[in-house]
Copies of this chain bind each other. A is one copy, B any other.
Amino acid sequence: MTLNRRDQILKYIVEHFIKTAQPVGSQTLIEEYHLPYSSATIRNEMNALEQIGLLEKTHSSSGRVPSSEGYRFYCEYLRDKEVSEDLKYNLQKVLDEKTRSIEEVIKESCEILSHMTSLASVVLGPNAKEEHLASIQLIPLGPRSATVVFVTDRGYVENKTFVIPNEMSMEEVAKCMKMFSDRLIGTPVSELVIKMEALRPIVNDYVIGHDVVYKTLLETFLRFASDRLLLYGKKELLNQPEFLDDADKIRKMINLLDSPENLIDVEKNSERDYKEGNITIHIGNSNEEYPDVSIVTTKIRVGDEQEGTIALVGPTRMDYDKVMSALEYFAKELSKYYGNDKGGNNT
């Protein structure tokens, strides 16, 4: 499909700006892309594009820079949708390692994605709410201390070491734990805390000094509910030119990346986001808290339950084409390998 002149010019501007991080002028455009028009013509088109709100100027006589809308338009209509062979090759290499668990595959893939896009990648773990408690194990460490290990049916593990009060024997702790275990296994993680509440009076009759056990379990269950967040490629991201000389921007970005809440906030504010297939693109916007940050996300599914979100985070000036294609490719390949058979692989 060939583009009309105006769109073609917009495309060039977006791509050139993505590459150089410099506002693009009419002259540059002609030289770089050998356009068969005079600079005046280009300027007219640029002006028109600015009127529609797809381009912006940094000051009255500067070159043009894409607006959020401009990027959005680019994503929707102009991008090439090509996945680089390099990326395919690198991802495939990771995916082909059969005995790797999905977590490891995701980790390594994210490192590759980060590296190839110079963005940070964030893995937002599956919300444990949908998982069920599969096992509670008490492991005595010494006469007065023990560790409890909790495993969900999707292999997520939490643990907690605690001190056994003098008035309780290890046997009693074990008995108490068994009691909880019998009543809690199979419970969805989201209901654990409520169910504990109900168990409180019952366990009261069983064991004296049970409250340590009770409290230990409760605290750990609360941890289940918190988001599991992994972050890769921070270094790559901070070497982008927008951060080269701007300490404030760096601090702000670190803030964003270090506290999941913020990221989730940005992501939630999504009425204006552009969706394409499984990919959602949030393009930073001047009336937001992080105006110059864009986030491209995709849901990762393994088996038939939702398994988590992968996001690539960076400046609004990011290579949307590359990022979207890469993420789409990755999500597709991943589901091909870890598809609808609940975690089994398809050898």
Contacts and interface: CB of A to CB of B under 8 A. Distances in A.
Interface stretch (A15-23, A54-62, A131-139, A193-201): A131-139
Nearest to A231: B258
Contacts of A247: 243-247, 250
Interface magnitude class on chain A? 35 or more
B166 A347 contact: yes
A251 interface: yes
Contacts of A347: 165-166
Number of copies: 2
A64 interface: no
A154 interface: yes
A72 interface: no
A215 interface: yes
A103 interface: yes
Contacts of A342: 142, 144-145
Interface in A292-329: none
A203 interface: no
Contacts of A166: 347
A149 B134 CA distance: 13
Contacts of A142: 153, 342-344
B246 A258 contact: no
B144 A134 contact: no
A44 to B, nearest CB: 39
Given A135-B139, A246-B247, A159 B161 contact: no
B254 A145 contact: no
A222 interface: no
Given A246-B247, A254-B238, A101 B141 contact: no
A238 B258 CA distance: 13
A225 interface: no
Given A99-B212, A141-B154, A149-B157, 8 more contacts: A101-B161, A101-B162, A141-B155, A145-B342, A149-B151, A165-B347, A234-B258, A235-B258
21 contacts: A99-B162, A99-B163, A101-B160, A137-B149, A139-B151, A141-B151, A141-B343, A145-B344, A146-B155, A147-B155, A147-B157, A149-B159, A163-B343, A166-B347, A234-B254, A234-B258, A235-B258, A239-B251, A247-B247, A250-B251, A254-B254
